Amino acid sequence: MNLLEQHFGNLVDYDFTAHMEDGLDEIANGNAQRVPWLNRFYFGDNGAEGLKELVGESGDIDAKGISSFPLKGTDIMIRVGRYGPYLDRDGNRVNIPEDIAPDELTAEKAEELFAQPSGDRELGVDPETGHTIVAKSGRFGPYVTEVLPESPAPAEGEKKKRTKKADEPKARTGSLFKSMSLDTVTLDDALKLLSLPRTVGELDGEPVTAQNGRFGPYIKKGTDSRSLGAEDELFTVTLEQAKELFAQPKQRGRRAAAAPPLRELGKDPASDKPVVVKEGRFGPYVTDGETNASLRKGDEVESITIQRAAELLAERREKVAAGGGKKKPAPRKRAPAKSSAKPAAKSSTKSSTKSGS
C-alpha cells in the first residue's frame, strides 16, 4: 500500500476509482468502446499521465523505504526483506516467526523476539570481500553465509537505477558438513564452504567442478557427474582422480554400502579362494566370490567350518554344472494357426434310383 500511496497516489484516489467504475459500467452496458478507453488509461489523454508514463518514472522508488513500517510507540521498524519479514532496530535484526502476522505485532512481543537468542553466530570478516560471515540454522539445516551491504538510498531528486533481479548480487551460502556444528564451526571452515563449487581442472574441453549437493558430494563435467565418497574430498580430489571416476560406469540411484561379511572361514580347497559367510536376501550363505551356497538346516553362522562350507560350495557347483542351478521356463505352447479359408461345404449327393420298368 505504501508503494501505491507514495508513487501512484492518483490510482488509489477515491475520485479516480469512482470515475473508473463509471467507465467500466459504460463499457459493460455497451455505451462505450473498451479499446479506446484502455488506450486512454494506458497512454494518457488531454495532458493527463497514463499508466505507461507513471510506471516509466518508477526508477526513484526506494524499495527499502516502501517496505518499512514503524512499530507504534517504539524505535523498531518492521521491514520486508528478500527472505521474509523482520524487525530492525539500529541495524540489529531479528526474523519474525512464520506463525506471527507482522500487523499483529505489539511492542511487548517485539521486545520478546529481540530478547530471544537467535542461534546465529558471527564468525568474522572475509579478508577478501570485507563481508561479515555468519553461521545460521535454516529450514534445511545449518549453514554459513555472508552479509551483503545494503544498497544506499538515492539522494533527494536522484533516480534509483532499475536493475533486474538476476543482476542483483546474491549472498554466498554453504551448508555445513555432517562433521560440523553451529557451535564449533570456524571462520576458516566457513570460507572453505563458501569457496564451493571448486574448479578441479578441465577434461575433454569442459571444466570439472567439485560440488556439495542435496544427495552428497560429487564432481561434475558438463551434464555428467560422479559421487564422491566423503565431503572432505571436495577440497582434495584431483583431476587425475576425477578422470578415473568418470571412466567408471555411472551407477543409477543411491546404493547402500555393501555389508561386511559375518565370518571369514579360510580358503576353499577347490578354488583356493577365501570363503566368507554373508547375510543375503534369503538368509545366510557362504561364498568364495564366484559361487554362492545357502546354509542348510542345522548349519549355524557361528559354528560352520571351512570343511562344511567347501561341501556346500562343491554341491552347488555340481548342481549348476548338471543344469540344475536354475529351472528354465517351460516353452510356451503355441496355439494352432487359424486358417483364413472357409471350410468347404459338404456335398449332398442324392441317391439316384434306376428307373426300370
Average pLDDT across the chain, whole number: 78
The full set of domain ranges for the chain reads: 2-60, 71-115, 121-152+168-192, 196-247, 263-321
Per-residue pLDDT for 310 more than 90?
yes
- % of residues, the chain, pLDDT over 90: 28
Residue burial 234-260, b: 16+ Cβ < 10 Å; e: rest: beebeeeebeebbeeeeeeeeeeeeee
What lies within 8 Å, CB to CB, of 176 at 6+ separation is 135, 141, 142, 143, 144, 182, 185, 193
**Cell representation of residue 55:** 510506471
Q: What is the pLDDT of residue 354?
A: 45
Per-residue pLDDT for 58 more than 90?
no
Per-residue pLDDT for 65 more than 70?
no
Q: What is the pLDDT of residue 181?
A: 86
Least confident of 20-34, 106-120, 232-246: 106-120
Q: What is the pLDDT of residue 156?
A: 57
Contact 298, 338 (CB under 8 A): no
Which pLDDT tens digit goes with each residue over 152-192?
555 555 555 555 555 667 889 999 998 888 888 999 999 99
What does the pLDDT average to over 262-279?
Answer: 91
Per-residue pLDDT for 347 more than 50?
no
Per-residue pLDDT for 336 more than 70?
no
